[in-house]
Amino acid sequence: MPRGFDNPNYYRRREQSEAQAGDVKLNVIEAAKDKLAPSDMVPVSTPEGREARASSMSSTNPCGPGYEYITAPTSGKTDALGRPRPRAYYACYSIDKEMEVLVIGMRDGSMIQYDGVDPVLWDILKNSDSTGEFINLYLDGAPWSKTTYSNLPRKRPDEFQFGTGR
């Protein structure tokens, strides 16, 4: 019986093996999708999803991975010399929409965290003219806390449960 390349069945077995390997890979991908709820992540197939992911991975992102950020909108307040003097420098929102965390970076370097902020409000802030006006209109009376970069909430722990043998 011929072996290796001399065997007429070699190429057929190789094609079948490659086809099955592709199916296994597809099955693993589909199984992973089944474990994640569609709302767990912003879909990267949308322009908004791609923008959020790119923003999250940027080295200039003041909130770090897992947060989309923008330069805080300002209404043009100036100091005595006419230089812009916004109170908020940046705003970040968790990419994981179920966390619903909005962070605003202030002029003095502090970070203000609002929990339970709807993703729709993040879109409104991105299109707003002033962060202060946005807060007065939509977050007035909402609970907030000062935080630091290291205390910002990151992804939920249950997202890392693949392969734990549950």
Provide DSSP, 12-75.
Answer: HHHHHHHHHHHHHHHHHHHHHHHHS-GGGS--TTSHHHHHHHHHHH-TT-TT-TTEEEEEPP--
Q: How many residues can be counted in the chain?
A: 166
Of the listed ranges 17-26, 46-55, 128-137, 146-155, the least confidently predicted one is 17-26
Q: Which residues contact 70 (CB under 8 A, 6 or more apart)?
A: 55, 90, 91, 92, 125, 126
pLDDT of residue 90: 93
Q: Phi and psi of 83, rounded to 5°?
A: -85, 145
Question: pLDDT tens digits for 79-102?
Answer: 677 766 678 889 999 988 788 999
pLDDT of residue 16: 66
Q: Is pLDDT above 70 for 111?
A: yes
* 16 burial via Cβ count (<10 Å: 0-12, 13-18, 19+): exposed
pLDDT of residue 110: 93
Q: Quick one: what percent of the chain has pLDDT higher than 70? A: 54
- The mean pLDDT value for 121-138 works out to 90
pLDDT of residue 61: 86
pLDDT of residue 95: 86
Q: What is the mean pLDDT of the chain?
A: 75
All structural domains of the chain with their residue ranges: 4-35, 40-152
